[in-house]
Amino acid sequence: MIIFAKVETIKKDIRLLSLEEIKELFANKGEAAYRANQVFDWLWKKHALSFEQMSNISLGTKNFLNDNFDIKAISIQTTQKSIDKTIKTAFRLFDDNIIEGVLIPSEDRATACISSQVGCALACKFCATGKLGWARNLEYPEIFDQVMFINQQSLETLGIPLSNIVFMGMGEPLLNYNHVLKAIEMLTSPNILNFSPSRITLSTVGIVKMIKQLADDKVKFNLAILLHAATDKKRSLIMPINEHNSLSNLIDALQYFYSKTKTRITLEYLLLDGFNDSIDDARDLAMFCKNFPCKINIIEYNAIDDGIYKNSNAEKVKAFIAFIESKNMIINLRKSKGKDIAAACGQLARKNNIKLIN
């Protein structure tokens, strides 16, 4: 008896094709070019997640697309709502990996915090995602999908569309450069979401080479650096990446970025009790900030399960901020949201028991 093994064909995600490539595909099939535009519109503008949804596309064309391509859309696995209205969503990817994204409401804003990688290889000591390790980079449609789903949540729960997007979820966006920039291109395209680049912030640990690349690409979105310590000695203790991207090289890259883009840089600084919250630390930070136009966001730390670091007390936070202000620098205190559902900064992947599939 002959037994036929089931052959799984791996179909390409059609959203990885450009409009020109879809046009070429349709031309080879003898289809009119406007059909390619219609399909592209369904995929990106109307965010269709299946070929069946494309109501003005003929059955024959839908069958052709179905036979040859997939739409590897992400789907919502679970959502958790915080008492402060923050919503954390675990998204399931086509390969069953899970990533997280967060809708963060504030007085006049609705911000999506999105992921760029499945896990993260950089192992920052204060971060729950860093403890997972890395499985793979997200493809740009998977990044785009997170924004579309979170935008829908914003419309349904807050009654407003997203006002801001931050790449501050799982992963280091500059280690997935091409797909992150392509996702931003789709989000800001006037023909797709038309999101303003000035309302998008890419947050990075500071990969020097890639910051220079951003500058050469003259990006129009904002750049935030997860600084967290202003001396190499201290920074290397909590962020291993610092060993190959020293602060003096980071300063060079940020000066270069500013010279090319004229965009003021944001420095994110977690205050960790007894580690980086003294007046001497504030002085080091003020010195570092003198090198280029910037503002500082002090972020409240949200302890993760290992309990090595904890948040600074209110008195130390106040003294630290007062010192920086006395140097005429711009500094804001950012209160974390979604702590009760582990959606706050550095906590992603903590409560969903996420395991990576390599």
At its nearest, how many Å lie between ligand SF4 and the CB of residue 205?
Answer: 5
How many Å apart are CA 303 and CA 336, to the nearest integer?
A: 12
Q: Which two tokens stand for residue 243?
A: 């060993």
- Catalytic-labelled residue, pool 31, 100, 142, 268: 100
**Torsion of Cα atoms, 321 then 112 then 121 then 258, to 10°:** -60
21: annotated active-site residue? no
Q: Which of 39, 205, 286, 343 binds ligand SF4 (CB under 6 A)?
A: 205
Q: Select from 52-60, 120-128, 143-151, 327-335 the region that touches ligand SF4 (CB under 6 A).
A: 120-128
> Rule CB under 6 A: is residue 101 a binding residue for ligand SF4?
no
How many Å apart are CA 48 and CA 56, to the nearest integer?
A: 12
Identity (one letter) of the amino acid at 285? Answer: L
> Rule CB under 6 A: is residue 124 a binding residue for ligand SF4?
yes
> Strand, coil or helix: what is 60?
helix
> Strand, coil or helix: what is 37?
helix
Q: How many chain residues are in contact with ligand SF4, going by CB under 6 A?
A: 12
Residue 65 or 348: the one with the smaller Cβ distance to ligand SF4 is 348
Residue 186 or 226: the one with the smaller Cβ distance to ligand SF4 is 226
> Rule CB under 6 A: is residue 31 a binding residue for ligand SF4?
no
How many Å apart are CA 5 and CA 43, to the nearest integer?
A: 33
- Catalytic-labelled residue, pool 113, 127, 289, 345: 345
Q: Which of 93, 127, 138, 29 is nearest to 342 (CA)?
A: 127
How many Å apart are CA 217 and CA 181, to the nearest integer?
A: 10
Residue 296 or 348: the one with the smaller Cβ distance to ligand SF4 is 348
345: annotated active-site residue? yes
> Rule CB under 6 A: is residue 130 a binding residue for ligand SF4?
yes
User: Which sequence positions are flagged as catalytic?
Assistant: 100, 345
Which residues would be at the binding site for ligand SF4 (CB under 6 A)? 120, 122-124, 127, 129-130, 170-172, 205, 226
